[in-house]
Amino acid sequence: MAKPEETAIQPTRNDNYPEWYQEVIKAADMAEASPVRGCMVIKPWGYALWENISRALDDMFKKTGVKNAYFPLFIPISFLEKEARHVEGFAKECAVVTHHRLETGENGRLVPAGPLAEPLIVRPTSETIIGDSFSRWIQSYRDLPVLINQWANVVRWEMRTRIFLRTSEFLWQEGHTAHATREEAEQRTRMMLDIYRNFAETYMAMPVITGEKTETERFPGAETTTCIEAMMQDRKALQAGTSHFLGQNFAHASDIRFQSAAETEEYAWTTSWGVSTRLIGGLIMTHGDDNGVILPPRIASAHGVLLPIVRKPEETEAVMAYTREIADRLGQKVYHGQPLRFEVDDRPIGGTRNWEWIKKGIPLRIEIGPRDMASNSVFVARRDQDHRKKFSMEKDRFIDGIGDLLDEIQNTLFQRALDFRNTHTRKIDDKREFDDFFTPKNQERPEIHGGFALSHWCGNADCEAQIKERLTVTIRCIPFDAKPEPGICVACGNKSSRRAVFAKAY
């Protein structure tokens, strides 16, 4: 029997998927836990991903007329109390500031001193504080629409945390808009969701399902919540982005009124939408393997690394000159609107140098030695392929065709993820089959189950709650592309006109 190949990450995905995820982050040097409970330190390799995500999305937002602004981190508690469903939805996650200074107490310990007249909430989301500004900015229909986005941090006091996926503090963008009509606001809600879908699929190579959340899963205070849902390699769903139609609920709460063209006083229609550093967790779990993360080229921290191979001191100068020439030429290239980013790693050759880049998931590793110089070529390894597979390319052909090569990797990653999702998505109409689909076959690996079930749901929240309690399965969304189809609810057996996406989720 052949000896199984050793992998860089232990345990493997099959051994222990949650532990594998944590080890990948550590091995790729992306982030680490902070001394502050539930928070994270995002290291340069991980933060570069967030910069690339932010840059691409920011460009997409601005093309639709959105402008960036910034709003306070602290929100008066009275602001949250204005919208009952909103405060109820976030109350258990809020961090509260009650004092404004410290003083030295007994035994030399610092203790809180001056109490605040009104407690402040550390921003869990900004609908209320931004609504306060909108109420001053908007007086007439001529002031509309207002299209604002902010890149910020938020705090939600999570009980169970996991780096990137669910932390007490995380980075995100939150868009907030105000409109004169319901139709405009609903159009903006879908427009922003379409941007998220496009970004997830074309930049992150992560296929997603778009749809509407049920009332139970809706954002607190929203009329409708739309979302993108992706399947991770443990077959769980990840809510990767949301866009909310808030109706006039927050306009009433924040008194956002305007004089219409007919000279009547109206309340504005508002939306909010956001994605967060959770996308990085989704990227890891969509594309990673047992040797580390695999980065899609369009948002990779770097597109490739040049690895000079020098075995004799007298070869150093020539090999490095050849390497620098290639680096300079690549640095002049543009890939999907951004300069190519290639690292040069001139540390002494050895197994650890190569494996570090494999674990980091860099799309291309380029080895350059005397033999390659002699043939005017480079030796290429792709991260989306077996790490032992390498091929030689003529130098000019490699440099001139670098964009096509990176696109090929990007497309391969997307298709691989799409095939995986399709393989583990099933239409299920029988309750016993539904239960079996979500019941782990191996009790030592309880996180592995069937995947996504496309099943009928009658619309009753009791059925939704019963399934969640019994199987820890939730309705991820009602897909927008779902065609009307008569059937029987998988929970109660009553008539149903539509299928929903059921899954276990992060």
Q: What is the 3-state secondary structure (H, E, C) of 272-329?
A: EEEEECHHHHHHHHHHCECCECCCCHHHCCCCEEEEECCCCHHHHHHHHHHHHHHHHH
Q: Is residue 9 one of the residues assigned to a domain? A: no
Buried-state track 197-209, b at ≥16 Cβ within 10 A, e below 16:
bebbbebbbbbbb
Residues 393, 479: one domain?
no
Residues 403, 432: one domain?
no
pLDDT tens-digit profile, the chain (506 residues): 445 578 999 999 999 999 999 999 999 999 999 999 999 999 999 999 999 999 999 999 999 999 999 999 999 999 988 876 776 777 888 999 999 999 998 888 998 899 999 999 999 999 999 999 999 999 999 999 999 999 999 999 888 899 999 999 999 999 999 999 999 999 999 999 999 999 999 999 999 999 999 999 999 999 999 999 999 999 999 999 999 999 999 999 999 999 999 999 999 999 999 999 999 999 999 999 999 999 999 999 999 999 999 999 999 999 999 999 999 999 999 999 999 999 999 998 877 999 999 999 999 999 999 999 999 999 999 999 999 999 999 999 999 999 999 999 999 999 999 999 999 999 999 999 999 999 987 766 666 789 999 999 999 999 999 999 999 999 999 999 988 999 999 999 999 999 999 999 99
CATH number for the domain including 468?
A: 3.30.110.30
446 within 8 A of 471, measured Cβ to Cβ: no
CB-side neighbour CA atoms (13 Å) of 172: 26
Residues 182, 277: one domain?
yes
Quote the distance between the C-alpha of residue 153 and its chain's center. 15
Q: Is residue 25 one of the residues assigned to a domain? A: yes
DSSP string, 331-364: HT-EETTEE--EEE--SPPSHHHHHHHHHHT-SE
Phi, psi of 225 (to 5 degrees): -125, 125
Residues 236, 148: one domain?
yes
Residues 107, 181: one domain?
yes
- Rounded CA separation 48/300 (Å): 8
121 within 8 A of 129, measured Cβ to Cβ: no
CATH number for the domain including 360?
A: 3.40.50.800
DSSP-derived secondary structure letter, 139: -
Residue-level pLDDT at 349: 81
Whose tokens are 């620098």? That residue is: 324
Residues 92, 175: one domain?
yes
Q: Is residue 11 one of the residues assigned to a domain? A: no
Residues 370, 461: one domain?
no
- Rounded CA separation 220/82 (Å): 13
Residue-level pLDDT at 107: 86
Q: Is residue 416 one of the residues assigned to a domain? A: no
Residue-level pLDDT at 34: 96
253 within 8 A of 131, measured Cβ to Cβ: yes
Q: Which domain holds residue 488?
A: 423-503
Q: Is residue 413 one of the residues assigned to a domain? A: no
Residues 33, 65: one domain?
yes
Question: Which residues are CB-neighbours of 383 under 8 A, at least 6 positions away?
Answer: 294, 295, 358, 361, 362, 363, 364, 365, 409
Residues 184, 311: one domain?
no
The domain total for the chain is: 3
Residues 387, 449: one domain?
no
Question: Which residues are CB-neighbours of 255 under 8 A, at least 6 positions away?
Answer: 135
The CA distances from residue 329 to 324, 325, 399, in Å, are 9, 6, 7
Q: What is the pTM of this model?
A: 0.95
Among the candidates 223, 255, 287, a domain finishes at: 287
Among the candidates 349, 383, 407, a domain finishes at: 407
Residue-level pLDDT at 444: 67
379 within 8 A of 367, measured Cβ to Cβ: yes
Residues 140, 250: one domain?
yes
With residues binned 3-state (H G I as helix, E B as strand, rest as coil), the percentages for the chain, rounded to 5, are: 35, 30, 35
- Rounded CA separation 431/483 (Å): 21
Q: Is residue 296 one of the residues assigned to a domain? A: no
Q: Is residue 417 one of the residues assigned to a domain? A: no
- Rounded CA separation 506/504 (Å): 7
Q: Which two tokens stand for residue 490?
A: 């998988």
Q: Is residue 353 one of the residues assigned to a domain? A: yes
CATH number for the domain including 219?
A: 3.30.930.10
Among the candidates 236, 264, 287, a domain finishes at: 287
Residues 187, 252: one domain?
yes
Task: Judge if the upstream peptide bond of residue 72 is cis by omega within 30 degrees of 0.
Answer: no
